[in-house]
Structures are given as structure tokens and as C-alpha cells.
Amino acid sequence: MYIFAGIERMNTKSLWSLMGIVVRNAERCGLHRDGILLGLPPYETEKRRRVWWELQHLDMALGVKSGSMSLSLQASWDARLPLNIEDEEIEPSMREAPEEREGLTSMSQCL
């Protein structure tokens, strides 16, 4: 959130460097691995996908803004895109992932 809030106020190249640290820490936490492959429940899987892809979205936006190429584009990770569903459709007790929606949802900017 700090990086996102600083996009228009701070030096973009500094933010992009900081974003590199954030992405590497996310990789160290395993967010770049898809939860299904790790045997995680649907809720945890969807949360991890949403965090990972929001980080990728921000990393690419900062890369473009600073005139640099996102290193994430060259990385090898297997996290699938988040489901095209509303936030209210995921809950910790769910046993199966909900059906994806057609059209715009709260996840559309990441997809």
C-alpha cells in the first residue's frame, strides 16, 4: 500500500527498486507458487493469487513508469490468475472455489 500510495508523489525509480525487494520477499514466502499445487484450501489459494497478481500488476506499472522492464516477466513461477469473482464470494469455510463470472468484477484490473 505504501508503494501504491507513493506512485504520484515519490521518485518512481526508487519505488521500483523497493518493489523489487517486495516481490523477492513475496517469492521467499512462496506466493509465486499456486496454492492448488501446494495442496492449500480454495480460500488460501485465492488469497495468495490475489496478493501475488496485485504485486505483479504494481511491479509492471512501476517498470513502465520508470522506463525499465519488470524482472517478473522473466521469472518462472506458477501462480495462476485469480478467479474473476467478487470479494464477497470467497470465505475461509468454502470447500470449492466459486464459479467465475462473466464481465467486470472487483478483480478485473488485475486480470
Residue 92: per-residue pLDDT:
93
What digits encode the pLDDT tens for the residues 51-74?
999 888 888 888 888 787 776 666
The CA-atom distances, in angstroms, between 23 and each of 10, 73, 89, 97, 99 are: 19, 12, 27, 26, 29
Domain residue spans in the chain? Answer: 2-81
| pTM of the complete model | 0.82
CA distance 26 to 75: 13
- pLDDT score for 21: 87
- Tell me the C-alpha distance between 35 and 53, whole Å: 13
What are the pLDDT digits (tens) for 14-31?
787 888 888 889 999 999
